[in-house]
Chains A and B, each alone.
Chain A
Amino acid sequence: MLLITRPAYELPTRYVSAWAQEVVDVAQRKGITVTELGPDRSTRKIVESVLVKRKPSLVMFNGHGSSSTIHGQDGEILIQAEDNEKTLHGSITYVVACDSAKQLGPAAVTAGAKAFIGYDRSFIFVANQHYARDPLKDSRAFPFFNASNMVMISLLKKHTVEESYRKSQDIFVKNISRLSTSEASSDDLFDAQVLNWNMKSQKYLGDGEARLV
């Protein structure tokens, strides 16, 4: 089972959650049960309830974060180190948010999470402001979420955590190369720099051989 949070209340959460649709589609095509928590259900109470009662083997958090927290709708803290990270026990978790691989990731693995994949610095993306209300049509945002989503798509295909991390890193490299050719525009080169930052911030912790069962 996959648990996925999709808060949406300002531009960053609208984008991250919109682009997570690809992950939901792949999971459903593969016949994997998906518990999708949209804006009205990305709350601590509901997330904890699903984690404890249904024990999903795969979890994807989208939105904001800090070194010790993951946030949901309107910035509510969903998971916090030294508080409720044990609810991730037995799961493989991927967090598309800032900094959470710094402190929360190690805490979750210590508390029994099989693996934790996330970013140990800011997760940054570039967009075109004209698509603020229709993120999936924003081709400028594509390389960021294309590389990020590969972690989940690979995990859903039963690849291991390490393989999924490597595949995501490969897509980062491919997209950076595509955006930094000699014919690249100034926007392309800037976006390549940001992708390079995200690629180097992405980390996995825990059992690299773990996979979706």
Chain B
Amino acid sequence: MTPQDSQKVVSNEDVKNIVLERLKILSPDTVISIGSSENVSRDELIQHVKDEDSVGELFAEMQMEWIRSFKEKV
């Protein structure tokens, strides 16, 4: 693991597990369009998170932002 990898949100095992649990229960016909990158199926997105690549990182950041938005409301 490089120093850069260790700074990834998705490299945090707790975060990664939360994201994966969230994705596993999505409908199988879900397709996610991620801007210029690509559009991915639920199972492809799960693989991106497991691979800790840029798409996986984006969804880990999204999960953390969602949690923070709830904390702000409380």
Which residues in A have some Cβ–Cβ distance to B below 8 Å? 10-12, 15, 64-66, 71, 97-99, 122-130, 132, 140, 186-187, 189-190, 192-194, 196-197, 200
B28 to chain A, nearest CB (A): 9
With A97-B35, A127-B30, A186-B27 already in contact, 18 other A-B pairs whose C-beta atoms are closer than 8 Å: A10-B39, A11-B31, A11-B33, A97-B36, A98-B35, A99-B36, A122-B37, A125-B32, A126-B31, A127-B33, A128-B27, A128-B31, A129-B30, A129-B41, A186-B25, A187-B30, A192-B66, A193-B63
A11 touches B29 (CB 8 A): no
* Residues on the A chain within 8 Å of B29, using CB: 128-130
A167 to chain B, nearest CB (A): 20
B62 touches A12 (CB 8 A): no
Within 8 A of A (CB), among B21-74: 22-23, 25-27, 29-37, 39, 41, 58, 62-63, 65-66, 69
- Out of A98, A128, A186, A194, which one reaches B36, CB within 8 Å? A98
* Residues on the A chain within 8 Å of B22, using CB: 186, 189-190
